[in-house]
Copies of this chain bind each other. A is one copy, B any other.
Amino acid sequence: MVNEQEFLAGYDPRAYPAVAVTVDVVALTIRDNELQVLLIQRAAPPFAGFWALPGGFVRPEEDLGVAARREFAEETGLGGEPLRRVHFEQLASYGTPERDPRMRIFSIAYLAFAPDLPEPTAGSDAGDAQWLALTALPTRELAFDHRKIIEDGIERARSKLEYTPLATRFVGEEFTIADLRAVYETVWGHPLHAGNFHRKVLSVPGLVEGTGATTEHGGPRGGPRARLYRAGDARLLHPALLRPAREETVR
């Protein structure tokens, strides 16, 4: 047994089997009223033909968050202002020795939240990138431990909706309370009481601020014009917008 000092001082890590560090991005968006995740189809082994998260090696002088944004941008063709509206945060790291059959690869996963984006095929250099609905995920063959990473990302997203204004990242610059409610219902996967949600959203300080304007028309199936809102300046929601407790998740 040696301690850190001796280890760092007396040992050349280059003598170790090489390791590599990648970033993988769990990019979530809402399309067609479904939560969708960005996947690319692998062309080469291992896991050729399997679907995988966008990601790749961190470059020598590159910061982790920068690498995650770069990988996301490469696959989606997104840049400039639209890219700035996408929220990135570090999710977790994965480093089981056998997670990649070629060598020891540590992956630092990032979570990205984007408003409704176009199919990524146009303008990107990824031959086979696509948004996939979460409901279609169980039947897909996923590479490496990416299924686990996606599950972790979804759980993070669900809980972050509770106590941060993250939901506003899934909608456009201006939105209605119903738009916001649709985000919560989609991510949490069950319907909410429209009246109570409305009351709650307006009562939490800094969640949304009114623009004074309304939608041009009512909804496609009727109803009055809805008021438009912008994201407020809160970074945490107090009191939080809690999802209904499910007994199973507690124990």
> Interface 1/0s, chain A 7-50, versus B by CB < 8 A?
11101011011111100000000000000000010111100000
Instruction: Give this chain's copy count.
Output: 2
**Residue in A18, A93, A206, A238 with the greatest tally of chain B CB atoms within 10 Å:** A93
A215 at the interface (CB under 8 A from B): no
B60 touches A16 (CB 8 A): yes
Contacts of A2 in B (CB 8 A): 125
A54 at the interface (CB under 8 A from B): yes
A200 to nearest B CB, angstroms?
Answer: 15
Inter-chain CA distance A189–B237, complex, in Å, is 21
Given A5-B42, A93-B90, residue A106 in contact with residue B103 (CB < 8 A): no
Inter-chain CA distance A95–B57, complex, in Å, is 13
A96 at the interface (CB under 8 A from B): yes
Secondary structure of the A contact surface, majority rule: loop
B4 touches A56 (CB 8 A): yes
A-B contact pairs, 15 of them (CB 8 A): A1-B125, A3-B74, A4-B52, A5-B44, A6-B43, A11-B57, A13-B57, A14-B18, A19-B19, A64-B106, A93-B93, A93-B108, A95-B108, A206-B251, A234-B251
Query: A233's closest neighbor in chain B, by CB?
Result: B251
Query: A92's closest neighbor in chain B, by CB?
Result: B90
B250 touches A56 (CB 8 A): no
A99 to nearest B CB, angstroms?
Answer: 10
Q: Which of B17, B21, B45, B234 contacts A250 (CB 8 A)?
A: B234
A201 at the interface (CB under 8 A from B): no
A75 touches B3 (CB 8 A): yes
Q: Which of B40, B102, B242, B245 contacts A3 (CB 8 A)?
A: B40
A216 at the interface (CB under 8 A from B): no
B4 touches A40 (CB 8 A): yes
Query: A63's closest neighbor in chain B, by CB?
Result: B96
A115 at the interface (CB under 8 A from B): no
Inter-chain CA distance A108–B206, complex, in Å, is 34
Inter-chain CA distance A62–B45, complex, in Å, is 25
Contacts of A108 in B (CB 8 A): 93, 95, 106
A208 at the interface (CB under 8 A from B): no
